[in-house]
């Protein structure tokens, strides 16, 4: 059996066993008429704090204890377990009250962003790997400007050498903005190759009206359109992977803060626990 499948089965089994044990313990405590809301609450808070610790672990790469991949595995399975812990803590009812609602909303947002993160980190890398070129996110603006400069130079040279302006006009009408401008938020949220196909089709159409030197430049433009689109695609997907993580980590801090306030208030209004 492949090692990733084996790991997934093992971790799932361990998580289910741990959760089963916790549920059994809770039922046993409740059968003795003990209140368990503080137990489940502390377990949930501890789990959330542990999940938040992962970001600190990332900032200390010199630590020899476990690998980041090992931490991520724990992070994933503990993160999934918090849904069950929350359910046990609130007895599977819908939270009411302002603080509880805010807390539940923060939890749900963090949990949902985590789930989306799992999906994106498993699917987007494959999509990026299928693009012919591998690019570093920070270098994309530079590469884009290089592509634009090459396109402009090629078109100007074609106009100069052939004296014809057909390709030049087409460039300024249809391609200038494509090479010059950013693709916009819609493309970043849902990248597609519609514009690329459209521009390539239009360029193919115009090809019949071109002179010989312009046709050679046209071939270059085909390649440059593809390259620019690939760069935009990389930018969109890599940005999404980075933005998602930023959001997920950003939600963690208010979640921890509100959860701590909730715990403190629970003790204050518990009738003398503090």
Partner 1 sequence: MTQSLTEITVTRPQRWDVPFGDAMRDADVDELLKIEPFASMDAERFPAAIPLRGILKNDTRVSSYQDGDIVVREGDYGSSAFLILSGTVSVVLEGLDPEALGRQSPEKQSVWQSLTRMWKNPRLPEVRSQFTSSSTLVASDRQPVADLAQTRVFLQDVPRALAGARSVTLHTGEIFGELSALTRTPRSATVLADGKVFLLEIRWQGLRDLMRRTDALRQHVEQLYRENSLRVHLRETPLLAQLPAQQLEAVAEATVFETHGNFEWHATFESPAVTPSQDAIVSEPLIVEEDSPSEGVLLVRSGFARLSHRYGHGHRTVAYLGKGQVFGLTEAIESYKAQQPTPMRNSLRALGYVDVIRIPQSVLEEHVFPAISESLLAEVAKKHAVQCSHHHCDVHDGPLGCEQGRVDPDLLEFLVERRFINGSQAMLIDLDRCTRCDDCVRACAATHDNNPRFIRHGHHHGSYMVANACMHCVDPVCMIGCPTGAIGRDQETGVARINDLTCIGCSTCANSCPYDNIRMAEIRDRSGAVIFDETSQQPIHKATKCDLCADLAGGPACQRACPHDALVRIDLGNLGKLSQWVNR
- In the complex, the residues that contact partner 1 under the rule CB under 8 A are 2-4, 58, 60-65, 67-69, 71-72, 121, 124-126, 128-129, 134, 136-137, 238, 241-242, 245
- C-alpha dihedral over 151, 218, 223, 183, to 10 degrees? 60
Tokens read off for 248: 């997920």
Query: Which is nearer to partner 1, 117 or 168 (by Cβ)?
Result: 117
Q: How far is the CB of 121 from partner 1 (least distance, A)?
A: 5
Q: How far is the CB of 197 from partner 1 (least distance, A)?
A: 25
- How far apart are the C-alpha atoms of 202 and 28, rounded to whole Å? 72
Residue 51: Cβ within 10 Å count: 22
Considering the complex, state which of residue 25 and residue 137 has its C-beta at the smaller distance from partner 1: 137
Nearer Cβ to partner 1, position 28 or 137? 137
For residues 140 and 235, is the Cβ–Cβ distance under 8 A? yes
Least Å distance, CB 68 to partner 1, is: 5
Number of Cβ within a 10 Å radius of residue 15: 17
Task: Give min distance, CB of 50 to partner 1, in A.
Answer: 16
- Listing DSSP states for 153-178 in one string gives HHHHHHHHHH---HHHHHIIIIIHHH
CA distance 96 to 109: 17
Running DSSP on this structure, what letter comes out for residue 269?
T
Minimum separation from the CB atom of position 136 to partner 1 (A): 6
CB of residue 241 to partner 1, shortest distance in Å: 5
Region of 93 on the Ramachandran plot (φ > 0 left; ψ -120 to 50 alpha; else beta)? beta
Residue placing its CB nearer to partner 1 in the complex, 23 or 124? 124
Nearer to partner 1, 71 or 77 (CB): 71
Which residues neighbour 14 within 8 Å (Cβ) at sequence distance 6 or greater?
Answer: 77
C-beta closer to partner 1: residue 28 or 246 = 246
């Amino acid at each position: 059996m492949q090692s990733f499948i084996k790991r997934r089965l093992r971790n799932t089994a361990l998580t289910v066993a741990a959760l089963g044990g916790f549920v059994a313990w809770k039922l046993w405590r409740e059968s003795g008429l003990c209140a368990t809301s503080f137990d489940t609450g502390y377990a949930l808070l501890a789990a959330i704090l542990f999940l938040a610790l992962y970001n600190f672990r990332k900032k200390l790469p010199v630590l020899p204890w476990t690998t980041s991949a090992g931490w991520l595995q724990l992070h994933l399975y503990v993160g999934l377990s918090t849904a069950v812990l929350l359910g046990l803590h609130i007895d599977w009812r819908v939270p009411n009250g302002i603080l509880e609602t805010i807390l539940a909303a923060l939890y749900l947002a963090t949990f949902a962003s985590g789930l989306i993160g799992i999906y994106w980190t498993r699917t987007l890398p494959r999509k990026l790997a299928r693009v012919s070129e591998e690019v570093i996110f920070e270098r994309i603006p530079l590469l884009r400007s290089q592509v634009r400069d090459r396109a402009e130079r090629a078109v100007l040279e074609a106009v100069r050498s052939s004296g014809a302006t057909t390709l030049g006009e087409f460039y300024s009408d249809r391609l200038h903005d494509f090479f010059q401008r950013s693709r916009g938020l819609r493309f970043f949220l849902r990248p597609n190759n519609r514009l690329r196909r459209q521009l390539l089709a239009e360029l193919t159409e115009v090809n019949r009206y071109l002179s010989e030197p312009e046709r050679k430049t046209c071939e270059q433009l085909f390649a440059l359109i593809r390259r620019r689109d690939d760069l935009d695609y990389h930018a969109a997907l890599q940005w999404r992977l980075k933005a998602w993580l930023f959001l997920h980590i950003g939600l963690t801090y208010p979640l921890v803060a509100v959860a701590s306030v909730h715990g403190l208030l629970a003790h204050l209004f518990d009738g003398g626990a503090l």
